Amino acid sequence: MAGETVSIEGIVTYTSSQQGGFNGFYLQQADAETDNDPATSEALFVYTRRKASPGQRLRLTGEVKEFHDLTELVNVSQLSVCGQAPLPEPVELSLPWPHPPERLENMRVSFNAPLTVIEHHNLARFGELTLAQTDQIIPTEYLAPGNQSVQQKLENFQHRVLLDDGKSTRNPVPVPWLDLGENHTIRAGDKVVGVRGVLDYRFGQWRIQPDQNPQFSREEPRPDAPPKASGEITRIMALNLQNYFNGDGERGGYPTPRGARTLNAHNNQLRRLTSVIHQAAADIVAVTELENDGYGPRSALAQLTRALGPAWRFIKTPDRDGSDAIRTALLFRSDRVRPEGEALRLKQGVYRHRGRPPLAQIFTPVAGGQAVRVVVPHLKSKSCRNAKGRNSDQHDGQSCFSAHRTREAQAIIRWLSDLSAQQPLAGTLITGDLNSYAQETPLTTFYGAGFTSLLHHAHPCRPGDCRYHSYRYRGEKGSLDYALANKALMPHVSGVYIWNINADEPRALGYQSAPELNGPWRASDHNPVITDLRL
């Protein structure tokens, strides 16, 4: 009926004519006057600057339009108020959708069963939260790349609903659903009940414009750092720094190319990162996404090390750190461990001219014990920028540059094989950001070479059960960050942990713009991976 002029009558259920709203209201047929056709909706959106309030019965004339797949009435020429009427009863819904919800478009609905917050990326920008029946897992965490994982991803995306704020404005103030209190902010994984309102379709997403405040609850509190076991333990933590740049190193040079936009944001980031490292009681920290600006006193690495305290040192590999804007690095407590031999960077093959060459260093506990080689990789991201040929998206669930990441994994394996015979070791630990999920080809390449993902060995991900994850992307969770041990090191592993301080925290609490929160929360967008070794 798009383009036709029609006259309709119904009850106003929800208005969005306030400043920053959608410039209109939702009109629905009275319950006693529906057409009894379950395949068709009983409501539509009326786009008009004319005012209305919930409970009014209106008769109006206008033109039917499909606006980005939302059915609405525009160019309203006549509008009469026919009195007051009770609101239509909301239709009870559940997720996953039992059938496509088009038949309920623009109608009052309610979700009486609890839903789970799975995404808050656009909370501060658009006032949106993504909800599902339960937390959703990235399929290639437990499925091999291919048709089955692609279909599971489509299934995940189809069975969601957004909790919206009834506004079309960007950067709403205050941010809805977000309590900035120290322990009361919204986190992914939180439960929500009492979701009721109008089922709307905008920007390619089914969403609820709520007519009451839902109630949020958390099944588990924000986690403390994993405790160390008794006895002599060497704790190694892999930590993605989310682009730690320090300007010119003298309180100027902001905004930085990738990191903090202001000095205050940088100080906020530095305070949170040091809090993470101190609370985790790490002895060795393998970092990624660190500014590649050398080792001088004004470098980002030197500044971070000074902030950690007088016992902390860093490993140097000058002129071997690659051409990328960011690099990998190793920091360590000199009172707990000492480096042995030369620090090495892989500069052959795929790493000859570009990329972020992995760093390897042998450490021995000061108190005595065997040596361990720690290797810090940061494989190429899944971004599709400049992807061509085999590096383009193969539509198997691995996104772009999987072939390149696999070549990087193969190069690291060959490199470590050549190094392994040079010195007796307890074993080798590869720990860092591999930009791949557990069943993707780069990881299976490491598995085939005898390395074990300690996290997935201890806590494997299965459909509906993936408690430990390091990253969350578009409402799905999985692990991009790893601790991979060779066979020799396995008997020395005392424990492996994901400390969930970042991935589930809303981006609105990030270091760029959030108030100065105490503690480690949202220091980065990746959760750290912690490995305890008895050497």
Burial zone of 101 (CB within 10 Å; 0-12 exposed, 13-18 middle, 19+ buried): middle
Cα 317 from Cα 294, distance rounded (Å)? 9
Cα 195 from Cα 336, distance rounded (Å)? 52
Cα 371 from Cα 410, distance rounded (Å)? 24
- State the CATH class of domain 234-533: alpha beta
pLDDT reported for residue 515: 67
| 8 A C-beta contact, residue 346 and residue 411 | yes
Q: What is the pLDDT of residues 445-489, one digit of tens each?
A: 999 999 999 999 999 888 888 889 999 999 999 999 999 999 999
Identity of residue 305: T
Cα 112 from Cα 200, distance rounded (Å)? 18
Please report the DSSP string for 103-162 in residue order: GGTTSEEEE-S-EEEEE-TTHHHH--EEEESS-EE-GGGTS-TTHHHHHHHHHHHHS-EE
**Arithmetic mean of pLDDT over the chain:** 93
Cα 528 from Cα 237, distance rounded (Å)? 7
Identity of residue 6: V
Q: For tokens 């009926």, name the residue.
A: 1
Q: For tokens 């940061």, name the residue.
A: 378
pLDDT reported for residue 69: 81
| 8 A C-beta contact, residue 328 and residue 377 | yes
Tokens read off for 217 = 């609850």
Q: What is the pLDDT of residues 3-41, one digit of tens each?
A: 999 999 999 999 988 877 889 999 999 999 988 888 889
pLDDT reported for residue 320: 93
Most confidently predicted of 66-80, 213-227, 326-340: 326-340
Answer yes or no: is pLDDT of 256 > 80.
Answer: yes
From 450, 463, 502, 495, select the one nearest 481 (Cα to Cα).
Answer: 502
From 284, 371, 364, select the one nearest 328 (Cα to Cα).
Answer: 284
Check whether the bond before 114 is cis (ω within 30° of 0): no
Cα 171 from Cα 403, distance rounded (Å)? 38
Q: How are beta strands 205-210 and 195-202 bridged, if at all?
A: antiparallel
Residue 314, phi then psi, degrees to nearest 5 = -135, 160
Q: Which strand (E) or helix (H) includes residue 419? A: helix 402-419
Tokens read off for 338 = 């000492």
Q: Give the E-state strand segments of 211-311 in sequence order.
A: 215-217, 234-244, 284-291
Check whether the bond before 214 is cis (ω within 30° of 0): no
Answer yes or no: is pLDDT of 359 > 90.
Answer: yes
Tokens read off for 326 = 């960011």
**Best CATH choice for the domain 5-84 from the list 1.10.3720.10, 3.40.120.10, 2.40.50.140, 3.30.465.10:** 2.40.50.140
Cα 510 from Cα 190, distance rounded (Å)? 19
Mean of pLDDT values over 131-138: 96
| 8 A C-beta contact, residue 516 and residue 232 | no
Q: Which residue has the higher pLDDT, 467 or 387?
A: 387
From 386, 332, 318, 407, select the one nearest 363 (Cα to Cα).
Answer: 332
pTM reported for the whole predicted model: 0.93
Q: Which residue has the higher pLDDT, 441 or 460?
A: 441
pLDDT reported for residue 98: 86
